[in-house]
Amino acid sequence: MLKALLVDHHDSFTHNIKAWLKPRFAVSIVDYTEVEKINALEFDLIIFSPGPKTPSDYPLSKNFLKAVPMNKPVLGICLGMQMMNEIENGTVSEYFPPVHGKTSSLVSTLTQFNNLQVARYHSLKCEIAATFETIASSESIPMIVRHKQKNWLGLQFHPESFLTEKPEKFLQAVVELCSR
């Protein structure tokens, strides 16, 4: 079984993410304040969880992400995706009105994600850095992004939410990320 590290940014969905990953990954959770003690090489996948506030409120997580080897698979969910984007010189700004517990339909270049309903809980949005490609969007907001050189995948929505349609499709995409 693949080993995953879930960096917890004190989000209420952290344990739901662990449960979502559990069929395919042995998941260890670490508090973001302790992340500097972790060796990224011990894991097959690193996940940066959702959380409150903005990416700039988590310098320890951002420094850890910057130090992760380029070929290491990384998944950013909501805040995690925003962190990845900010590190790569993309911008993160307020999204008004905030979206909490709303489903939206994806418009995707990949047929397996096109028209799927996903759960959104966010008050920020990304202007994607040039180093990313947008795989899916909703209401002109990037929802799935992939880094062009690094093994990074970002999801603005919550794949672990009961409101997300066919969460197993997103889990399979994460497994495939680990096999690149």
Is residue 88 annotated as part of the catalytic site, yes or no?
no
Q: Which of 86, 147, 160, 178 is catalytic?
A: 160
Between CA 78 and CA 81 the distance in angstroms is 5
Between CA 178 and CA 132 the distance in angstroms is 18
Between CA 8 and CA 72 the distance in angstroms is 18
Three-state DSSP state, 128: coil
Q: Which of 78, 126, 147, 178 is catalytic?
A: 78
Between CA 166 and CA 176 the distance in angstroms is 16
Q: Which of 122, 126, 158, 178 is catalytic?
A: 158
Is residue 42 annotated as part of the catalytic site, yes or no?
no
Alpha carbon 33 to its chain's center: 19
Cβ neighbours of 77 (radius 10 Å): 28
Between CA 145 and CA 37 the distance in angstroms is 28
Between CA 177 and CA 76 the distance in angstroms is 12
Between CA 124 and CA 35 the distance in angstroms is 24
Is residue 100 annotated as part of the catalytic site, yes or no?
no
**What residues are labeled active site?**
78, 158, 160
